[in-house]
């Protein structure tokens, strides 16, 4: 039996659908589009979709079958090596313009501040070791394994569609929009690092191996591999 993990989801009631948020997988962009579709103003949150009180569905508590019976549930995943670099650049180096706060501990984003393993100015290799030391049961959602967002207690994928970050803008979000009848298929890319870099440049052979093992279930379940391209 697999542990039941906390997930954040948004009910799109008029479309009989549920979006399951996976942090560091374009969730700011997706939630901003959903807010526009649902007529939810972001003015009071200064444009921050993460501060909205979203309508939430009831999650099923059966050990098998869909997490949200009767609703089209969808989520997106990302290459684990790439996702971890994104987390580091955002939550430690502060390279992302958006809604990350560093008020609890200087140099460490608030969402990671409860972990002593993270500290200001740490290298990426040190960040990887810190993530490795924290199991999914204790991990923050920004680096928790992605399978924990989309599987049931038997460890099986229990939603209707798992799209990929790597083809989100061109294909996968459009597939969802067409499937459930959303009035838009346009996805704006928000909260991205100011300077694009290839994630592979951050890795040594050892840190690459550590991430492969730490996120082994993601790699196997979603068919990802490390690419130096």
Is 94 in contact with 111 (CB distance < 8 Å)? no
Domain contains 71 = yes
Domain contains 2 = no
Percent of the chain whose predicted confidence (pLDDT) is above 90: 66
Q: Which secondary structure element, helix H or strand E, spans residue 72, and what is its range?
A: strand 72-77
Banded model confidence at residue 95, pLDDT cuts 50, 70, 90: very high
Q: Domain range holding 17?
A: 9-222
Q: Which range has highest mean pLDDT (1-5, 169-173, 177-181, 225-229)?
A: 177-181
Q: What is the pTM of this model?
A: 0.92
Domain contains 160 = yes
> Is residue 127 over pLDDT 90?
yes
Domain contains 4 = no
Domain contains 227 = no
Number of structural domains (the chain) is 1
Q: What is the pLDDT of residues 26-75, one digit of tens each?
A: 998 899 899 988 888 888 888 888 889 899 997 655 555 789 999 999 99
Domain contains 159 = yes
Banded model confidence at residue 14, pLDDT cuts 50, 70, 90: very high
Domain contains 77 = yes
Domain contains 229 = no
Residue 191's pLDDT is 55
Q: How far apart are CA 34 and CA 26, in angstroms?
A: 12
């Amino acid at each position: 039996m697999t542990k039941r993990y906390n997930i954040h989801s948004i009910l799109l009631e008029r479309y009989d659908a549920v979006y399951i948020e996976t942090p560091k997988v374009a969730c700011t962009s997706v939630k901003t589009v959903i807010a526009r579709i649902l007529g939810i103003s972001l003015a009071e949150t200064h444009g921050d979709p993460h501060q909205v009180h979203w309508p939430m569905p009831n999650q099923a508590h059966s050990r098998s079958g869909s997490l949200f019976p009767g609703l089209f549930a969808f989520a997106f995943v990302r290459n684990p090596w790439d996702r971890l670099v994104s987390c580091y650049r955002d939550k430690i180096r502060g390279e992302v313009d958006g809604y990350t706060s560093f008020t609890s501990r200087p140099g460490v984003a608030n969402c990671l501040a409860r972990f002593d393993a993270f500290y200001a100015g740490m290298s990426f290799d040190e960040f990887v070791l810190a993530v490795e030391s924290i199991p999914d049961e204790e991990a923050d959602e920004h680096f928790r394994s992605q399978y924990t967002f989309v599987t049931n207690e038997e460890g099986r994928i229990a939603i209707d569609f798992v799209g990929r970050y790597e083809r989100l803008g061109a294909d996968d979000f459009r597939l969802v929009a067409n499937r459930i009848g959303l009035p838009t298929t346009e996805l704006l890319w928000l909260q991205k690092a100011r300077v694009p870099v290839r994630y592979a440049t951050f890795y040594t052979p050892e840190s690459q191996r550590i991430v492969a093992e730490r996120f082994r279930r993601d790699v196997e379940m979603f068919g990802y591999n490390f690419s130096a391209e």
